[in-house]
Chains A and B, each alone.
Chain A
């Protein structure tokens, strides 16, 4: 008996992506609202604290808040989602289909990342207006958000798939989001050295830094490219590791 066809990697990816996108449609509104509200709230709260003359701090606060929207959905919610799918045995459905694990992980991660786009853009624009920062280089978001989304979603999927129990996946996702919040919003030069080291290890840092740079009056193109490349590298590593974790989670 000959083997039946299997979908090409791209066809599998797009089928998973389309399915997941529609799944989240119902929950999209409230979730995005919460994610965006949280970041906008932080922007408003810190407005009273941030020194009018410190553009660097304002840039970091706006960039960090914008990336936080991505972290909320791609890291926190995706970790929960994969933790739940793994715990309930629902992944068997995918495992018994002739699709590469990477397509399932990437498709799901991409659909979560997609949801964050409107909220992250809205937060960035609102932040720039609130803190009087130029909107000129906001186009950088087009690069920053997908890369931040890919790396944080990869990390979220990895946490969810590695966690031995769904509750631990939830805790890990929330801790990860807190790390993104504190390390991304507080400017590096205001941190103690130990925290600066930790900051360098969190992938969202580079997305936040790239965006923060672009909000300044004269962005340094070289540093911007460096940050984005690091972001991309982390995304590749995180998604590869998540695909391996998926394979391990379903073929026990």
Chain B
């Protein structure tokens, strides 16, 4: 793991947002938030959120990255006031929503991972209804609906029930319900899951257009998304924030390393010393091996492989700079099912 320069990025206490945002009231301030899920039928209780403290500056696009079960959804559900923390405090734009959860709906729009209650409604009506439930007049809700459907390319399917759409279109329609009513804080739980690259880009663009007025907290387990759209990212593992910084600075933690991926077309020659060494260092998934190695070591090993007899059994190889997934693993993250797509 990286050296002394990384200490400032590690999280035990809250990490401050960038200096530009520090003067304003933070959009989100979590203080020592904890929540336990009661174990069912004799299984042990799970500490789903473990004393999490975070600050998200006004106007930031802030990400929560982690594998399934890391506690991302539990954390954001407490943030938007639909799940009560066992202890700790949530402040949104200066308002204490732990004391009064009913305030949250007037500050934040939440896109849940689950299908919403309005999923059987036609797309247009679901957006309009949600707008009205966020306090818009009927006229305002209708014009906001039309503008949003146009922006996200959904106008053609406005009259179709969400249940009749493909998974990607349905998710996009749900993003529209989150955007209606222009809340200053958006909390989006995996908004782009199931979206094709074009629709994913549409969502990122829509968020970018709202940058001046909106703070975004985005849950993702997509590394590419985290690296392209987030200003800062908190990496979660087992309910704890194990790192929190800009994607670039987090990646600097492991910048001395590279990732070597090998794909074998036949049984690899294990008696070759380089193959044996790489096998020991790799995560093996069938004929796919993946190892994080110091740059020099990786180059050397690849040279020996491509120049030696093992090359005949090698189908493909890639050498890549580390991703946030490597950061997650380097920080001690356990099972990684992060999506690299």
Contacts and interface: CB of A to CB of B under 8 A. Distances in A.
A16 interface: yes
B91 to A, nearest CB: 11
Given A23-B121, A97-B105, A89 B133 contact: no
B82 interface: yes
B interface residue count range (under 10 / 10 to 19 / 20 to 34 / 35 or more)? 35 or more
Which of A3, A26, A91, A92 has the most CB atoms of chain B within a 10 A radius of its CB? A92
A11 to B, nearest CB: 7
A99 B117 contact: no
Contacts of B181: 4
Nearest to B177: A93
A69 B245 CA distance: 60
B135 A98 contact: yes
A23 to B, nearest CB: 5
A97 B116 CA distance: 12
Contacts of A89: 112-114
Nearest to B182: A4
A16 B106 CA distance: 18
Contacts of A15: 129, 132-133
Tell me the interface secondary structure of chain B in the complex: loop
B130 interface: yes
Interface string A1-35: 10111110001100110110011001000000000
B306 interface: no
Interface in B85-120: 93-95, 101-110, 112-120
Which of B105, B108, B113, B133 has the most CB atoms of chain A within a 10 A radius of its CB? B133
A88 B113 CA distance: 11
A100 to B, nearest CB: 9
B195 interface: no
Contact of A92 (B77, B108, B125): B77
Interface string A71-101: 0000000000000010011111111111100
A7 B133 contact: yes
A250 interface: yes
Interface of A: 1, 3-7, 11-12, 15-16, 18-19, 22-23, 26, 85, 88-99, 250-252
Given A15-B132, A96-B105, 15 more contacts: A1-B184, A5-B106, A15-B133, A19-B118, A22-B125, A23-B120, A88-B115, A89-B112, A90-B116, A92-B77, A92-B110, A93-B110, A93-B112, A96-B108, A96-B109
